[in-house]
Amino acid sequence: MSRGSRGSPRRLQRPGPRARGAARLACVHGVPGVQPRRRHRRRQPDDWRLSHEKPSEDCDEAELDPKYRQSVKCKIFLGFTSNLVSSGIRDIIRFLAQHHMVDVIVTTAGGIEEDLIKCLAPTYRGDFSLPGALLRSKGLNRIGNLLVPNDNYCKFENWIMPLFDQMLFEQSTENVWTPSKVIARLGKEINDESSYLYWAYKNNIPVYCPALTDGSLGDMLFCHAVRNPGLIIDIVQDIRLMNGEAIHATPRKTGIIVLGGGLPKHHICNANMFRSGADYAVYINTAQEFDGSDSGAQPDEAVSWGKIKGSAKPVKVHCDASIAFPLVVAATFARKVHGSK
C-alpha cells in the first residue's frame, strides 16, 4: 500500500503484460544500465573431468596430455541400505552398475542377500500395518510394506551352501577370502542380469560390506561353520582396499552418493577422510540429528572430521530415497545413456 497526494491509501498496480514483456526484452537484448542475468549451472560429479582443472606443478608428464585429462572422471562412491534393494530401487542400482556409472559400492549384508534372493524367488507387496503375529503364522517376513516368504530363504540356503563349500576348498589351495571377494564371487555365480551384483562383477566394480555377517548371509555362514568349519573371511584386507579406493583416487576427484545412512554412509565418508575429504557429497535420507546416529548427521559434521572438503558444496535431501533417487538418476546418469528423451 502507498498513499496519494491527499494521504489516502492507494493500492500498487502490478505491471501489465507489455511492461513485463519489455523487461524481459531488456534482459535479453540489453538496455543501458540493465545487465542480463546469467544462470550458472553447478558442475555435477558425473560432469567433472580433470581437464576442468589447471595442471598441478608436480604432476607427471602423462597428466599434461589433453586427451588423458579429458578422460579422467570423478570417482563416485555409492552407498545404500538393504531396504533400498528390497524395494524397486534395486533396478536403479542395477542400471548404474550395468553402465559402469559408479566406481565403488558399499552396502549392508541385507543389500547383498536381497539382491541374490530376488533372483531366486519373488518379493511381494504388503502393507506397513499388517499384524506381525499373523504374518509369522503364515511364514511371511515383513520389510516395511514388502513381504518375503520363509521359502525364499530356504532357496537361498540351497543355492549358497555349495558355494561356501567350494570357497572353503579354494581357500586351502589359493588364498583367504575377503568380504568383497566373496561378494564378487556371488555376483558371478548368480549369473542373472537383473542383479546389480552380477553387473558389478562384470564391470569390475568393487562392492564392500564390512558387516557381511549381519543378516541372512551371517546365518548361512554360521550354519556352514557348524557343519563344515574353516572358512575364513578377512575384513582387514578389505579395509585396506576400501581406504585405498579414496587414497589412490588422485588425480581424480571423489564424489559420495549415500541413500539412507548407517554403515554405508560412515564407511564411505571415513575412507575419504584419508584423502582430506570428498569433493562432492549428496545424502538422501529422512534421518534427523536428534536420532543420535550417524545417519542423521548433516554433511557439515563430516566436514569437521575432514571427510568432506571444506570447499565442497554438499547437499542433504530430506526425502524418501525411493522417491528422490530415481528422479536424480533420470536427470543425470540416465541422460548419458538415453539422451534427453
Which is catalytic among the residues 307, 309, 336, 341? Answer: 307
C-alpha distance from residue 323 to each of 25, 89, 161, 336 (Å): 38, 9, 36, 21
CA–CA dist 264, 313 (Å, integer): 21
Q: How, if at all, do strands 315-318 and 280-285 pair?
A: parallel
CB atoms within 10 A of CB 151: 12
CA–CA dist 136, 134 (Å, integer): 5
CA–CA dist 182, 220 (Å, integer): 13
DSSP E strand boundaries for the chain? 2-3, 9-10, 75-80, 104-107, 124-125, 140-143, 146-149, 207-208, 254-259, 280-285, 315-318
Amino acid at 224: H
- The single residue listed with the C-alpha cell 564390512 is 210
Cell of 73: 572422471
Instruction: Identify whether 307 is a catalytic site residue.
Output: yes
Q: Which long-range contacts (CB under 8 A, 24 or more apart) does 53-61 make?
A: 56/251, 59/251
Cell of 190: 548368480
* Active site residue ranges: 307
